[in-house]
Amino acid sequence: MITAKELDLVQAQEQFQQMCEFLKQALAEGQRIDQVERGMFPRAMSLCLDLLRSFVVAHGDGDEGESITREGETRQRLRKPHEKRYLSIFGELLISRWVYGTREGQAIEWSPLDAALGLPAGENSYVLEDWLQRLCIHDAFGESVESFRAWLGTTVSVRTAEHMNRDMSQYVEGFRGEAIPPTEEEGARSP
């Protein structure tokens, strides 16, 4: 019997073969390199998403038994796996995992799989947040979100970009409070 992880790897291998076939066809048709780039990019994104999914599946489902003890308190495994949406730069993953808490309907108090993978508290990957916020520094939120969508095909709302920005702003005071280095230690200045 084939496991979920193996299935994702098989799908990734099939996608890689399709990419190779696309290249052969593009060569036979005499396509320009920019046409090939545009054709390869979505295929590469899909391949990376399957590989990322395989990475997640390889970590298991986070089941550590009926109950666990953390920080001196016992948490019960909730009745059924919970799904977490994870939006990566490659696309969306839905991650089914066991979680622990006091009872269904209450806040999830511990998710072993989230901890093992280093998942963010929200839905957006740290890489996605980093890239989008780099755009938001230079352009309005709406323009940044549209550029992000045009480049990666990943849809993030303007509201989400604004929330990311607000959440990241909590670190500004600490940064501002750091001592300014002496002029002789600073890098070269632009004319």
Q: Which residues contact 48 (CB under 8 A, 6 or more apart)?
A: 90
Q: What is the pLDDT of residue 174?
A: 63
Local confidence pLDDT in tens for the 191 residues of the chain: 567 767 778 888 999 999 999 999 999 999 999 999 999 999 999 999 999 998 999 899 999 999 999 889 899 999 999 999 999 999 999 999 999 998 888 888 999 999 999 999 999 999 988 888 888 888 788 888 888 888 888 778 788 887 787 777 776 666 656 666 666 766 655 55
pTM: 0.77
Domains of the chain, by residue range, sit at 4-58, 67-117, 126-175
Give the up-direction half-sphere exposure of residue 103: CA atoms within 13 A in the CB hemisphere: 0
CA distance 18 to 10: 12
Could you please report the per-residue DSSP string of 100-154? EESSTTSPP-B-HHHHHHT--SSSB-HHHHHHHHHHHHHS-HHHHHHHHHHHH--
Dist CA 86 CA 88 (whole Å): 6
Check residue 190 and give its pLDDT: 55
Terminus-to-terminus CA distance in the chain, angstroms?
Answer: 66
* Cα separation, 155 vs 128, whole angstroms: 11
Residue 107 has what pLDDT? 84
Q: What is the per-residue pLDDT for 21?
A: 96
How many Å apart are CA 112 and CA 11, to the nearest integer? 27
Q: What phi and psi values does residue 158 have, to the nearest 5 degrees?
A: -60, -40
Q: How far apart are alpha carbons 62 and 81 in whole angstroms?
A: 9
